[in-house]
Structure 1
Amino acid sequence: MNLVGHLECFVVVAEELHFGRAAARLGMAQPPLSQRIQRLERELGTRLFDRSSRRVALTEPGRVLLDDARDLLARVERIRGLAARAGERAVLRAGIPEDLDGRVVAALIGAYRDVRPDLPLDLRPAPTADHLRALNEGLLDIAVLRHPCDTARLSLGPMLGQPLGVLLPDGSPLAASPALFLADLHGHDLVVEGGSAAREDLLASCARHGFAPETVHDSPHPQFTLGLVLAGTALALVPRARALPGTAWRPLTGDPLLWRTSCAWREGVPPEGPLADLVDVTTRVLRAEAAMTPVAQRVVPRPSSGFLA
């Protein structure tokens, strides 16, 4: 039994007293979370929660276990930190957005080699939701996250914002303007990427600025987004770096939309040594290569999330 992983799940459920919110914090589905709690209860030979259709409550054994579980997990985190600082980990595992520009990836690797030639960097491209799960399960040391996302139990580096503009087919009447307002896009379809939180955040910002797309197409990959734009099916709201032959990119007046990005690592792990170096390098590379600028960072507490606004 993965005791540490099960205890981590137990503590989150005990804090939330709601399996749905706990699953969201852990970046996993609710059924596997319930199964982990049940396996822990079988292993310990006692019920830890009283469950009903209306409420979840700790049993007396659950209350006794909670403090000890928190203490054990804190010790595990300290051991992990000591191992990393002592150089016992053979590689630094870093998650990056799967659509990160190739120039940025190359610059990131090169800049990290300059400061840490002795420690290999294992870059793992994936969606933000996958990185959240991997961070919480200890499968990644650090990840570059796109916000908004659930940052509970994570520490964050500097928040960077990359202005979004309009990607449209070359020759579109909208391309005649050097800059556009979101309201100018009225009557057009939109293609969007990212998870549900990022999608909702983007559409809410569009609505506030007078653009309600006729149809919203969900894209699993930047190449699919480009295909819809080239076909004239939809417009996209992306950074300037996405502009390719056959398309035109126009900035939005006032920069009303930003891609917000930051490094994240497990809460309680000191940002020292290789981890601190990678946070610094990644922040510098993203800011320089992708024209990102620092933005204000504010955590808005919610029952099951730590979205940044």
Structure 2
Amino acid sequence: MNIVGHLTCFVAVAEELHFGRAAERLGMAQPPLSQRIQRLERELGVRLFDRSSRKVELTAPGRLLLDEARDILTRVDRVYSVAERARLGEVGTVRTGLPSDLGGPIVAALIAAFRDRRPDLRLDLRETGTAEQVRALAEGALDAGIVRHPCDSRGLGLGPMLGQPVGVLLPEGAALAASPEVHLADLAGRDLVVFPRDEAPGAYDEALAACRRHGYAPPAVHEARHPQFALGLVLAGTAVALVPRTDDSAGVTWRPLVGEPLVWRTSCAWRRTRDPEHERAIADFTAVATAVLRREAGMAPLDAAPPRRVVSRPSSGFLA
């Protein structure tokens, strides 16, 4: 007995309450449909429909079984969907976006921790900024990512919000490097190096607004996509960089900002899915990534930020 086929017939008749319309919907003749319903009733040992010349009605057992039948058919559809993904080579891979400034040791720790937790899955890592990740998640080109807030996260799932205080990277010989902490206003007159706006527009605008609010209006803003480029500008003595805590490199010194006026807010983000296996894979990635960011990057939990729309126009008053 083809139980899936028979349940499909049962659901069609239950929803149409008319054998003729159900047969037309299924693309079959009415007599074979009636035979399948009768055989299913014999198999289950209950009458599913009350039939008369004028109408068809579900019996009490039929009403009880209808939701179960629908659930079974939905699960069968998922089996076929997973099988199709397997045929296309998509099963076993979590496509993940990571920001370019995450750092090599953190990426390595993330890969190792996820491999330990889910040896059956492979991470397909893609270096990309927050704005592009949000677009790719919405379009289904990515399964999950690590994004910087604020961003337009409507429709996405979000993991725990993590905070990372931002400090300033100074030339080693700068007078401010001798201070244990630096006021943003003390940076007046110095150019600023920051990540490109197109990577995370909301965080970029928020950072420059905080600078202005605390008395620092840099003469020029240089966008550095790669940390080494930012380091070079700082080493040359032409600019300072706003970055999270980092180990001092030769020629530069990192100092915290007084009062922590700037905090990068980061979380995992993912596209929602009805595939239970996919959901479990995303949940495992989020748990692993959150733990690695806390342990390796020194991030700490924050209250969640509400989703917001981020305007993609350039920030006024600053040039890259």
Q: So what's the TM-score if we normalise by structure 2?
A: 0.65
The residue type equivalent to 1:281 in the other structure is V
> Structure 1 residues 133 and 250 mapped into 2: Cα distance closer, same or farther (>3 Å)?
same
Q: Offset of 1:303 from its aligned partner?
A: 8.9
Shift in Å, 1:213: 1.3
Q: Deviation of residue 288 (structure 1)?
A: 0.8
The superposition leaves residues 241-283 of structure 1 with CA deviations (integer Å, 9 ceiling, x where unpaired) of 2642211000112211111111001145578311111100000
Which residue of structure 2 aligns with residue 208 of structure 1? 213
**Letter of the aligned partner of 1:239 in structure 2?**
P
Sequence identity (%) = 56
Map of 1:126 onto structure 2 = 128
In the alignment, which residue of structure 2 is the partner of 1:140?
142
Deviation at residue 193 of structure 1 after TM alignment? 0.7
Q: Distance in 2 between matches of 1:191 and 1:173?
A: 19
Picking from 246, 249, 271, the partner of 2:254 is 249
- Greater CA deviation, 260-269 or 135-144? 260-269
Q: Which residue identity does 1:227 align to in structure 2?
A: G
Task: Tell me the distance in 2 between the aligned counterparts of 1:173 and 1:200.
Answer: 28
Q: Deviations over 1:144-175 (max 9, x none)?
A: 01122211221110011111101011111110
Aligned to 2:296: 289
Q: Given the alignment, which residue of 178, 184, 187 partners 1:185?
A: 187
**Secondary structure at 1:245's aligned position in 2?**
coil
Paired with 1:145 and 1:302, the residues of 2 have a C-alpha distance of 14
Match of 2:12 in 1: none
Note the 1:24-173 alignment, pairs <5 A.
Answer: 83=82, 89-173=91-175
Aligned partner (choices 292, 300, 305) of residue 298 of structure 1: 305
State which of 222, 236, 240 in structure 1 corresponds to 2:241: 236
Partners of 2:208 and 2:155 in 1: CA distance: 27
- Secondary structure at 2:163 match in 1: strand
**Which residue of 2 is the match for residue 9 of structure 1?**
none
Aligned match of 1:194: 196
- 2:244 and 2:78 map into 1 onto residues whose CA distance is 41
Classify 1:302/1:273 alpha carbon distance in 2 versus 1 (closer, same or farther; 3 Å). closer
The amino acid across from 1:112 in the alignment is F
Check conservation: 2:161, 2:305, Cα contact below 8 A.
no
Q: Take 1:255 and 1:298, find their aligned partners in 2: how far apart are those partners?
A: 18
Q: 1:242 to 1:95 in 2, by over 3 A?
A: farther
Q: In 1, are the aligned partners of 2:189 and 2:219 still within 8 Å (CA)? A: yes
Give 1 or 2 for the bigger CA radius of gyration: 2
Show structure 2 runs of 5+ residues with no match.
1-73, 313-320
Distance (Å, rounded) in 1 between the aligned partners of 2:139 and 2:209: 31
**Cα distance in 1 for residues equivalent to 2:78 and 2:130:** 27
Q: Is the Cα contact below 8 Å between 2:193 and 2:230 reproduced in 1? A: yes
Within the candidate set 274, 280, 299, 2:281 is matched to 274
User: In 2, distance between residues paired with 1:206 and 1:268?
Assistant: 40
2: CA distance between counterparts of 1:229 and 1:172? Answer: 10
How well do the aligned residues superpose, as a CA RMSD in angstroms?
A: 2.6
How far does residue 183 in structure 1 lie from its aligned partner after superposition?
1.5
Structure 1 runs of 4+ with >6 Å offset: none
Task: Report what 2:317 is aligned to.
Answer: none
Per-residue deviation, 1:217: 1.7
Q: TM-score, normalised by structure 1?
A: 0.67
Query: Using the alignment, how far apart are the partners of 1:302 and 1:121 within structure 2?
Result: 29
